[in-house]
């Protein structure tokens, strides 16, 4: 088979040209970075788990009518996606205070927020992905008011659905980051969910013990990082013990 053309190598994934125009192959690496790539490492098996977890969550979201870039998983580390024009914003939804909101506003980590809060960060590594507001976004033309309305609407639906899905397997969805892109079909533009949804960009805490099961284990040197990611996959019923035939459904917690 001819080698595919590599289009972009990011911190966690590589993008290759897809088999048909308008498609890409997203390859999930084991590389991990934090604090705007000041901290670097690898988490063995992370790419395989994130590929599966993101596939599972994007499929479930698709089933409730959230448009996503996901087409299908190709193998352990790769998935076929629709190429979109990425909107240069990270859309963060928070349910419980943790990380930067706790530091910036002095809210103790673990405090349930009065309601779900949506934040935007400008995707720019050189600037350290700064927090921005609607005024910046529309004035600089990163997205229109309509685009933002669509993104917030989708982000809140994703939040409600994923909060319930995770709670069903004994996990609190503390916060998460989404990326969206523009997809054109016959002169019509749609905003679709892109990138990935995985423990790299969600905070996931065990509902009973509060134990962290996400990238904070790496960021904060908590140890047993691989196990955190594995446990998320196991609870979702997608941790293959002996290949794909071993897949089970979600294991509901009482």
Ligand X SMILES: Nc1ncnc2c1ncn2[C@@H]1O[C@H](COP(=O)(O)OP(=O)(O)OP(=O)(O)O)[C@@H](O)[C@H]1O
Grouping H, G, I as helix, E, B as strand and the rest as coil, residue 98 is coil
Cβ(172)–Cβ(109) under 8 Å? no
Minimum distance of ligand X from residue 162's CB (angstroms): 18
Question: Which residue among 69, 73, 212, 235 contacts ligand X (CB under 6 A)?
Answer: 69
State phi, psi for 47 to the nearest 5 degrees: -60, -40
Instruction: Give the integer Cα–Cα distance in Å for 146 and 152.
Output: 10
Residues 6+ apart with CB under 8 A from 37: 11, 125
Strand partners for 32: 41
Site string for ligand X, 133-162 (x = CB under 6 A): ------------------------------
Interface with ligand X (CB under 6 A), residue total: 19
**Segment contacting ligand X (CB under 6 A): 6-14, 40-48, 51-59, 161-169?**
6-14
Which is nearer to ligand X, 69 or 217 (by Cβ)? 69
Place of tokens 């001819």: 2
Which is nearer to ligand X, 181 or 228 (by Cβ)? 181
Question: Which residue among 25, 48, 81, 91 contacts ligand X (CB under 6 A)?
Answer: 81
b vs e for 45-60, b when ≥16 Cβ sit within 10 Å of the residue's Cβ?
ebbbbbbbbbbbbbeb
Cα 137 to Cα 88, 179, 212, 246: the distances in Å are 9, 14, 33, 45
Token duo for residue 220: 């904060």
Does position 55 bind ligand X by CB under 6 A?
no
Token duo for residue 73: 């998983």
Does position 24 bind ligand X by CB under 6 A?
yes
Minimum distance of ligand X from residue 167's CB (angstroms): 27
Question: Which residue among 55, 78, 147, 179 contacts ligand X (CB under 6 A)?
Answer: 179
Question: Which residue among 67, 100, 116, 123 contacts ligand X (CB under 6 A)?
Answer: 123
HEC letters along 107-152: CCCCCEEEEEEEEEEECCHHHCCCEECHHHHHHCCCCCHHHHHHHH
Does position 15 bind ligand X by CB under 6 A?
yes
Question: Which residue among 6, 64, 125, 224 contacts ligand X (CB under 6 A)?
Answer: 125
Does position 169 bind ligand X by CB under 6 A?
no
Minimum distance of ligand X from residue 253's CB (angstroms): 31
**Segment contacting ligand X (CB under 6 A): 51-59, 77-85, 141-149, 170-178?**
77-85
Site string for ligand X, 185-204 (x = CB under 6 A): ---------xx---------
Q: Which residues bind ligand X (CB under 6 A)?
A: 8, 10-13, 15, 24, 69, 81-84, 86, 123, 125, 179, 181, 194-195
């Amino acid at each position: 088979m001819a080698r595919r053309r590599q289009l972009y190598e990011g911190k966690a994934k590589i993008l290759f040209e897809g088999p048909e125009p308008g498609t890409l192959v997203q390859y999930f690496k084991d590389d991990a970075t934090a604090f705007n790539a000041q901290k670097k490492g690898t988490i063995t098996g992370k790419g395989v788990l994130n590929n599966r977890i993101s596939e599972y969550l994007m499929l479930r979201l698709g089933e409730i009518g959230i448009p996503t870039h996901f087409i299908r998983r190709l193998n352990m580390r790769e998935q076929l996606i629709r190429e979109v024009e990425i909107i240069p914003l990270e859309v963060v939804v928070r349910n419980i205070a943790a990380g930067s909101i706790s530091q910036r506003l002095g809210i103790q980590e673990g405090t349930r927020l009065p309601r779900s809060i949506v934040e935007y960060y400008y995707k720019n590594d050189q600037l350290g992905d700064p927090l921005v507001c609607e005024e910046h976004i529309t004035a600089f033309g990163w997205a229109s008011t309509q685009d933002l309305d669509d993104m917030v609407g989708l982000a809140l639906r994703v939040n409600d659905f994923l909060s319930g899905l995770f709670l069903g397997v004994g996990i609190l969805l503390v916060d998460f980051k989404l990326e969206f892109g523009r997809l054109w079909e016959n002169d019509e533009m749609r905003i679709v969910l892109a990138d990935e949804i995985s423990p790299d960009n969600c905070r996931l805490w065990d509902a009973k013990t509060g134990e962290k099961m996400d990238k904070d284990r790496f960021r904060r040197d908590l140890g047993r990082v691989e196990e955190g990611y594995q446990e998320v996959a196991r609870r979702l019923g997608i941790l293959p013990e002996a290949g794909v035939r071993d897949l089970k459904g979600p294991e509901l917690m009482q």
